[in-house]
Structure 1
Amino acid sequence: MGETVTGAGDPAGPTEPAGPGTSTVRLATGVAAVVLAMLAGFALGRAVTAPTSIGTQYAADAADHTHPPGTAPHVHGGTDGGDQISGLSVSAGGYTLVPVRRQLPIGDQVDLRFQIIDADQRPVTAFDVVHDKPMHLIIARRDLTGYQHLHPTMAPNGTWSVPVRLAAAGIWRLYTDFTLRDSGGSPVALTLGVDLVVAGEYLPADLPDAADTAEVDDFTVRMRGVAQRGVVTPLLFEVSRAGQAPTLEPYLGAYGHLVALRDGDLGYLHVHPEAELVDGAVKFWLTAPSSGDYRLFMDFQVAGEVHTAEFTVTVD
């Protein structure tokens, strides 16, 4: 039998964003955690996840986080503490994600609206452009289905909006992946997350078995490499169609984008690849922060259309 998900007590229509809660973390703490994560060389945060030569390039990138096409591979995330996995907190680094509403109707397209506010409860209106966009928005249901990678637009008052349709009842996780500047002009990269509620009978899907191939539309995507806990490892994705290699096109300044969500708590990792294809494959560097199952979503573009291949990975 399915579980019935009821509403979250939101008003019938949109309301203005409220101020930050008491869990807001001071900005200095967030910046310090980012620096420590970069020095550590791994984690689901703003860590360098590549060999020394790539890490050197990324360190230079970190001085100014407005990336042109060809940026070295790296990880997006915030500093939620613990093992540096990101997206678990609605507030970090002195900034808070405030959705206008958290209850959405099932199956209807609506404008999803939110703000990022600072420690003084002021909406943030200045964001760095990172991989061609100032805001990357990821949505997935708690059973790791229904993945969407969207790019909202911002109004002058700092309110972001994007059309969204959530086709099934349940609890959905919303991630905002962005970079802004602190008072000293240094880049602060954060991933903030919040749950959205779609009322109705919730029938969770089982996590698919781990596999190294995925079918999407008329493409086959093969994954090579083994993710390991606490170890930087390469993952390569080869795209084919009818046995032939299609021409991959840059999408948001890269040949592919990889989002990993950890089963159980939906901890978030957004990874970008090496600037060039490696023997026709898109190559990422990944470090799993813990054992367990992860769901990987790899976006790629062919003939102007974006496709998403999905994989389950088990880390021992």
Structure 2
Amino acid sequence: MTHATGASQGLARGLAAEQDGYRLNTATCGVPAGRPTAFQFTVTGPSGAPVTDFAVHQTKKLHFYAIRTDLTGFQHLHPEMADNGTWTADLAALTPGTWRLYADFIPNTGPHAAELVLSRTVTVPGEPAPVPLPAPADTTTVDGYTVTLHAQPMSGAHQLTATISQDGHPVTDLQPYLDAYAHLSAFHEGDQALAHLHPANAVNGDHGGPTLTFQALLAEPGNWRVFLQFQTAGQLHTAQLTVHVD
């Protein structure tokens, strides 16, 4: 079972700027190329006023993602909010092209409040240099770690497991990251629908791994670009894989 914070946890979503009366508002539809940007936005509620009360989920009040249309340049940030409800996300430099920016949050309206993911696109000026999506693969390496995905997910619910090793040895010292031993973000090729998942494994100090089990709720068939984030010795690692869903 995943760490569910709403009825739609894990389902592909996040392609609208407004849902259930909540709206993602950005100060600009463009972002400069090649340099870090303090990107500002607000979330307004059904009353039309900026929301300032957010529930903490996965240790944060809001998660912010950025990805280019070719599914490169992934960023997962935790912005700061001013008293007036204005959030500032410190984006690393973006390359030219069209990017989708996502805000993932739960309004603090009670124990049954649903998790929402809203998004908007922004344009980064310049001549885009699209990167072809890498072919589907079961294994990748990052920072000396080998990450292997087991089982081919089908659209809808299906179990997916990830195994992490280093120099051929199982890794058993994963540290908690966002209240879990990993965070998996997946973006659908073409429309950039977002799914994010957390392993079912119980957290017990710095003793995670080597196998993490996810309930892979990837609602649409096709290729998904998967970003698996995990932490060891205080360092965050991000493994990237393409997964094909039939």
Taking structure 2 as the reference length, the TM-score comes to 0.91
The question of whether the paired residues in 2 share the 8 Å contact of 1:212 and 1:223 is answered with yes
Q: Give the length in aligned residue pairs.
A: 241
User: Is contact 2:6–2:114 with CA below 8 Å preserved after alignment?
Assistant: no
Match of 1:202 in 2: 128
Please tell me whether residue 133 in structure 1 is matched to residue 60 in structure 2.
yes
Confirm whether residue 153 of structure 1 aligns to residue 153 of structure 2.
no
1:244 partnered with 2:169: yes
Which residue matches 2:22? 95
The runs of at least 4 consecutive aligned structure 1 residues that moved more than 3 Å come to none
- Whole-Å Cα distance in 1 between the matches of residues 92 and 215 of structure 2? 32
Is the CA contact (8 Å cut-off) linking 2:64 and 2:89 kept in structure 1?
A: no
Query: SS of 1:180's equivalent?
Result: coil
Residue in 2 that maps onto 1:124: 51
- For residues 156 and 197 of structure 1, the distance between their equivalents in structure 2, rounded to whole angstroms, comes to 28
Instruction: Summarize the alignment of residues 7-46 of structure 1 with structure 2, pairs less than 5 Å apart.
Output: none
Structure-2 separation of matches of 1:105 and 1:111: 11
Asked if 2 retains the 8 angstrom alpha-carbon contact of 1:118 and 1:124, the reply is: yes
Of 21, 41, 46 in structure 2, the residue corresponding to residue 114 of structure 1 is 41
- 8 Å CA contact retained: 1:76, 1:189: no
* Alignment match, 1:259: 185
* C-alpha distance in structure 2 between counterparts of 1:167 and 1:195, whole Å: 13
Worse-matched range after superposition: 242-251 or 105-114: 242-251
What is the alpha-carbon distance in structure 1 between the residues aligned to residue 238 and residue 209 of structure 2? 21
TM-score (norm 1): 0.72
| Residues 1:229 and 2:155 aligned together | yes
For 1:285, the equivalent position in structure 2 comes to 215
Q: Deviations over 1:242-296 (max 9, x none)?
A: 2223311101110000111110100111111113389721111112222211111
Determine if contact 1:140/1:148 at 8 Å carries over to the other structure: yes
Q: Is contact 2:195-2:217 (8 Å) kept?
A: no
SS in 2 for 1:202: coil
Contact 2:170 2:209 (C-alpha < 8 Å) held by counterparts: no
Give the Cα separation in 1 of the matches to 2:214 and 2:88.
30
1:3 corresponds in structure 2 to: none
Letter in 1 for 2:190: G
**3-state DSSP class of the match of 2:149?**
strand
Name the CA distance, whole Å, in 1 between partners of 2:209 and 2:174: 12
Give the residue type in structure 2 aligned to 1:116.
V
Aligned to 2:101: 174
Q: Which one-letter code corresponds to 1:281 in the other structure?
A: T
Listed as ranges, the gaps of 5+ residues in structure 1 are 1-53, 64-73, 78-84
Which amino acid counterpart does residue 160 of structure 2 have in structure 1? L
Q: What is the identity, as a one-letter code, of the residue corresponding to 1:297?
A: F
Identity of aligned residues (%): 37
Tell me the equivalent position of 1:165: 92
Q: Which residue of 1 aligns with 2:226?
A: 296
Cα separation, 2, equivalents of 1:128 and 1:181: 5
Secondary structure in structure 1 of the residue aligned to 2:131: coil
Paired residues of 1:181 and 1:188 also in contact (CA < 8 A): no
Contact 2:62/2:104 (<8 A) preserved:
yes
State the superposition RMSD in angstroms: 2.1
Q: What's 1:191 paired with?
A: 117
Answer with 1 or 2: which has the greater Rg. Answer: 1
Counterpart residue type for residue 64 of structure 2 = L
Q: Which amino acid aligns with 2:176?
A: P
Give distance in 1, aligned partners of 2:58 and 2:189.
27
Does residue 75 in structure 1 map to residue 9 in structure 2?
A: yes
* Structure 2: 5+ residue stretches without partners: none
Q: Alpha carbons of 1:217 and 1:157: their partners in 2 closer, same or farther (altered >3 Å)?
A: same
